[in-house]
Structure 1
């Protein structure tokens, strides 16, 4: 179907069914460019839909690929594209909910978050897609890691204390959410004792407290995260998580007003036992 329809929608494009690729072109005037792109992504997407919807999906994808090529050409005007890669930690599923016909370049991060790659172009962060990453050669060996480039940019963050809660933030900087990825340096408390209770209400804000600080502190953190998330232009997640070393689990928060954290038994204070109670089992 791609081989039959693509040349109608995009005259001059060439489909190779054996190699499962399509060559598309773009340009203005004498400046003409082209790229060969694998069709695996659109084939997989179509297989999840009724056959009657395949043509519209294929057309949208092809036109998006051409737009990606034009964008890749424009991005070279701003300098080394590889050095301008950045990564944002967002809520799991964010990319699927908001992406267009071409898939984002992303990395899964546990059960609750994902890391989406962007290109900094001027003052704008443009989402990097799988197609454009290939066009720009950003998947080649030796290309800088967007995660490392991002962590270097937030390495100097220092937490501020507010009513027993530690807050990492920088106004207008969506890279701050990546602090969870660099927990060894920016969140060393996560590997000490019971770890931390943590929230990422905004891309520019991470808040946490000791995981075993008790119910009152956990509730205060839940309220702070909820308030910070509500109405924020860079919302990330309204939830709380227990981060201990490399393990992260969600901590339920009630919908009451004010919200309260439902701590797992391991984080609840245990009643003290005197030696007499210990001897007689009381």
Structure 2
């Protein structure tokens, strides 16, 4: 009879597996490395193939090498940098203003029954009205100015920030409030130590939607009697059938969106690192 202190022999232990040579398998929730780049690269490859074989009419969509050459020319003469700077200022100004307003309204509505009664109703009405439908009024009130463009972007951004931050406040476990009352924590400390960390996941989720919304609004406002920006460059190119410039502008919009979303995701990983340490 064997005892618990006896070690199993090689024959009884079965085959020995060297853990160093075991390949890492993709389990549930694991992504393929560089998975986000696979789809765009395949599309670019298909674009190159169709253009090289003549299946794609250059008047419909310019060849990739023509687009690259056009981008280089735009960079050399400074036109692309100027347009990018103008668009980036508009986008981030509207994003910052809309984020501040949406967060403030969410805090007032989420922390007070009176605030919710006053604020949440109008916000839901605004939710039912697309921001771009307000453009005629905004043009009438503010004129075709930079302020109008920034306010339009801010109104579009405010909505996802408010909704997700407000939802984050409402889903905070009520036991934390009971604990705060038990240990006699003051309201300022309760907001700082419990409410704001609890609402942070919702706020950051809203920011990811807000970034996309800001770019969508930017595309529209830059084509309304604008004289600068990426949208104006695209609008002008469409009048002359310059598809290569249009594609360059679309790529710049895409890079702006990816950069902004990547920044929010980086902040999310750092700000919510405490969630991975729980449990």
Q: TM-score range by the shorter chain?
A: under 0.3
The higher radius of gyration belongs to 2
Structure (1/2) with the larger strand percentage:
1
Higher relative CO (Cα under 8 Å, sequence separation at least 6) belongs to: 2
